[in-house]
Amino acid sequence: MTLIGMLHHRADPRKVNRAYTFSVVAKAEGVDFFYFTPGNVDVEENTIKGKYYDNGEWHEKLYPFPDVIYNASPPFSEKAEAIIDYLYDRIPFTSHSVGDKFSVQKRIEQGGKFSHHLIPTRDLDNEDTLFDMLDLYHNVVVKPIAGHQGKGIFLIEKKDQETFLVNEGGNLQTYSREQLRYLVESRMNENIYLVQKFITCLTKAGNVFDFRLHVQKDGKGEWVVTAIFPRIGPLECITSNLGSGGSTAYLEDFLQKEFEDEWFNIKKTLEYFSINFSKHFESLYHDVLFDELGIDVGIDKNHKIWLFEVNWRPGAPIIYNFELDLVRNFIHYAKYLSEIK
């Protein structure tokens, strides 16, 4: 019987949303499952003091090293990182980092096949780069390379050579060229940023939106679409991320409302893109197998798909009830990994 270990930095599995779901689905699928932290690993004996769920409680038990590890969170100390490295060299991990936004952009660009879906992007290494992009496109987005949930993103619109409108979290402010130069310089001292052409994806009501394409591997190691859903930003906001005040809706309802007679073709196009892009994207990484991806895309007025971002630990919106499907796919894929290792 396959033994799966869920690795997380939190000591209490009751504080980790997916731990209970994983334990229930694993049992239903005939798989042994336990939860553990790096501090529970004995590298001398190759054993782990883990926790399993039974009769409404989590109980401790000593386990051998599992067949597969679901690495659900990153290490938070050097000691934990060393233990995770030890395990990584001996046991298949399900999740692997795709890298930061700029390195992902470069990989796709070099891969060629999907490069025409990329938004024109440059590494924001100095203020002159920003003004060059503004001269080219007039509207650009500045975002941190390692950001998440839409934090730290701001939109800049060039009004004329000396006037710029900055939108950060729905807060609009006008800057002169020198003021904007100072703003960007101060931000660059705090973080590493990239600058992109702003792609307009607006609902009929004027809200920004994009689509999250959530894909996973199944029990045969093949990519499948778990869910596709729109993410809709508040009015005046430049991001649609759910963690920054955005909302969502059922895909077909949204497409029928926004695209009318074209809705079905767009739905099929998104599904086709989800699978084919995932296959190509994984091929750009040597000796790495991804378990799931969250691909964020936009569709412009000409119905062209633009690739915004690729995430390797995508979350699911609470409005949807596909958590069980998501975990079941994971369990099947973990069994597949254990068989091919």
- Give the pLDDT of residue 39: 95
Q: What is the mean pLDDT of residues 57-64?
A: 97
Mean pLDDT of the chain: 91
CB neighbour list of residue 223: distance below 8 Å, 6 or more residues apart: 215, 216, 217, 274, 275, 278, 279
Beta strands in the chain (DSSP E): 3-7, 32-36, 41-42, 47-54, 57-64, 68-71, 121-123, 139-144, 154-160, 163-168, 171-176, 193-197, 209-217, 223-232, 247-248, 292-299, 305-311
Q: Calculate the CA 77 to chain-centre distance.
A: 23
Whether pLDDT at 170 is above 80:
no
Q: From CA 122, how far away is CA 195, in angstroms rounded? A: 5
Whether pLDDT at 169 is above 80:
no
Q: From CA 278, how far away is CA 293, in angstroms rounded? A: 8
Angle at 324 between CA 311 and CA 231, to 5 degrees: 40
Q: From CA 67, how far away is CA 134, in angstroms rounded? A: 52
Whether pLDDT at 1 is above 90:
no
Closest CA to 104 of 89, 86, 119: 119
Under 8 Å between Cβ of 16 and 74: no
Phi-psi region of 142 (alpha: psi -120 to 50; beta: other; left: phi over 0): beta
- Give the pLDDT of residue 134: 95
Q: From CA 216, how far away is CA 224, in angstroms rounded? A: 5
Whether pLDDT at 79 is above 80:
yes
Q: Calculate the CA 220 to chain-centre distance.
A: 23
Domain residue ranges of the chain, discontinuous segments joined by +: 3-88, 101-117+202-340, 121-197
Neighbours of 64 (CB within 10 A): 11
**For the chain, percent of residues with pLDDT exceeding 70:** 95
- CATH number for the domain whose boundaries are 101-117+202-340: 3.30.470.20
- Give the pLDDT of residue 319: 65
Q: 36: which 2 tokens?
A: 């553990």
Q: Which of 118-122, 222-226, 232-236 has the lowest mean pLDDT?
A: 232-236
CB neighbour list of residue 157: distance below 8 Å, 6 or more residues apart: 138, 139, 164, 165, 166, 167
Determine the residue type at 205.
A
Q: What is the mean pLDDT of residues 163-178?
A: 89
Whether pLDDT at 289 is above 70:
yes
- Give the pLDDT of residue 341: 75
Cross-strand partners of 71 = 7
The model's pTM is 0.88
CA distances from 212 to 48, 136, 141, 162, 271 (A): 36, 28, 19, 37, 11
Determine the residue type at 312.
W
Burial 295-316, CB ≥16 within 10 A → b, else e = bbbbbeeeeebbbbbbbebbeb
Q: From CA 324, how far away is CA 243, in angstroms rounded? A: 22
Q: From CA 60, how far away is CA 228, in angstroms rounded? A: 38
- Give the pLDDT of residue 190: 82
Confidence of residue 283 (pLDDT cuts 50, 70, 90): very high
How many residues would you count in the chain?
Answer: 341
Whether pLDDT at 328 is above 70:
yes
Under 8 Å between Cβ of 215 and 330: no
Q: Calculate the CA 330 to chain-centre distance.
A: 16
Whether pLDDT at 153 is above 90:
no
- Give the pLDDT of residue 317: 66
Q: Which of 24-38, 235-249, 255-269 has the lowest mean pLDDT?
A: 235-249
Angle at 231 between CA 251 and CA 120, to 5 degrees: 115
Q: What are phi and psi of 306, to 5 degrees?
A: -115, 135
Confidence of residue 236 (pLDDT cuts 50, 70, 90): low
Higher-pLDDT residue of 31 and 301 is 31
